[in-house]
Homo-oligomer: A and B are copies of this chain.
Amino acid sequence: MKKRLFTPGPTPVPEQIMLRMAEPIIHHRNPEFMEILERVHENLQYLFRTSEPVVVLSASGTGGMEAAITSCFGKDDKLLSINGGKFGERWSRLGETFTGNVLEITIPWGTAPDSDELARLLKQHPDIKGVCLTHSETSTGTASDIQTLCQTVRSNSDALILVDGITAIGAHEFHFDEWGVDICITGSQKGLMMPPGLALVAISRRAQDAIEKNTAPQFYLSLKKALASHKGNDTPFTPAVSLVIGLDNALSMIREEGIEQIWDRHARLAAACRTGCEALGMRLFSSSPSNAVTSVWLPEGEEWEAFNTALKTDNGITVAAGQDEFKGRIFRISHLGYYDELDMLTVIGGIERALYQTGYEFTVGTGVTAVQKTLLQEEMKGAALQD
């Protein structure tokens, strides 16, 4: 049976990238690799919309988040973290571990942070040194309005703005320089269509200054070391060579498609996925849905285990389960990275089949019809479809 992955990382890797990575390994301290790294560095700037350096770390996204915290801040520096899911929580845990001084705002899962509340807290705590945000909260499928949140921080504080862009980069419009972000992190196995193993970190001038002055202990994940090597298109430690080579291919594909086109595609696929789910009688979990991952409530009476077995075993489709208290109650469909319109038909079609196979009552074809209509209507710029 064909296997199809609709999880928010790992996401599918294009065949040409897999084959490129299967080519004989080269040494990382030779001109051939340095040329690759130079192109990767330049294309990462294109991706993040920045003229500032974007460094490549051989680590997962969490390694990138730790690099940001330990490189920019020291013991007792006060951080503000907005926790609306597993990844907002990760910012808080990292902050507690390394600065020991975190002001955490907990917001209900599935909701986006409120900028007025953020402004209030920044005024109340003028000693906040860093604000940790999550652009797309993978555990809940929720997008934050990073542009507005950045404006709010900038109007009320000198704090550095750290954005977890791990499942947002590529899926959501993002302008590192224009929005005044200081640090943004993504991982290779997300919008970049690669296997996991690399973290990419964009670093503003302000953040570079903070990093330069910081004396907190760090080594492998030091952005100071990474920035120093970046100048010479090098890395401080042996990089994951085959992954960097694959990333080079992935970034070329991204430039060819165009970042605005990629944002549009993700918005379109996400809209189609949502309409498909709703047409099947499933409620959306998030009040501010992400373009990377759609979270939906299981329909009344459906059992997660039976549904997931039908989806996976009989239809070859892997989606992500709910986490923590939402385990068994919601599930998450990813459309982040290497997906197109027919993939949305596939995943909703598979879900329809699994619902049918587990005895859920609905009109077969409702979901896939909704997907078709949403996508074709979009293509016809809103002109009515013939029935």
Contacts and interface: CB of A to CB of B under 8 A. Distances in A.
A360 interface: no
Contacts of A3: 24, 26
A27 B12 contact: no
Contact of A219 (B30, B94, B220): B94
Given A58-B59, A63-B220, A93-B219, A9 B197 contact: no
A318 B25 contact: no
B13 A24 contact: yes
Nearest to A62: B237
A195 B241 contact: yes
A93 B97 CA distance: 22
Interface string A1-32: 00101010111110000110111111110100
Interface in A111-139: none
A189 interface: yes
Contacts of A318: 27, 30
A59 B187 CA distance: 14
B63 A237 contact: yes
A239 to B, nearest CB: 7
A98 interface: yes
A238 B10 CA distance: 8
B61 A58 contact: no
Contacts of A61: 237-238
A138 B320 CA distance: 43
A7 B97 CA distance: 38
Contact of A22 (B9, B19, B60, B98): B19
A218 interface: yes
B10 A196 contact: no
A66 interface: yes
Contact of A197 (B11, B22, B243): B243
Contacts of A197: 58, 197, 239-243
Nearest to A69: B219
A295 B28 CA distance: 20
B97 A238 contact: no
Interface of A: 3, 5, 7, 9-13, 18-19, 21-28, 30, 58-63, 66, 93-94, 97-98, 100, 187, 189, 195-197, 217-221, 237-243, 318
Sort A-B residue pairs by CB-CB distance and give the 9 closest, nearest first: A197-B240, A195-B242, A22-B22, A18-B22, A63-B220, A60-B237, A66-B220, A10-B25, A62-B237
21 contacts: A5-B24, A5-B26, A7-B27, A9-B238, A10-B238, A12-B25, A13-B25, A19-B22, A21-B242, A28-B196, A30-B318, A58-B59, A59-B63, A60-B238, A63-B221, A97-B218, A98-B217, A195-B243, A196-B238, A196-B239, A220-B221
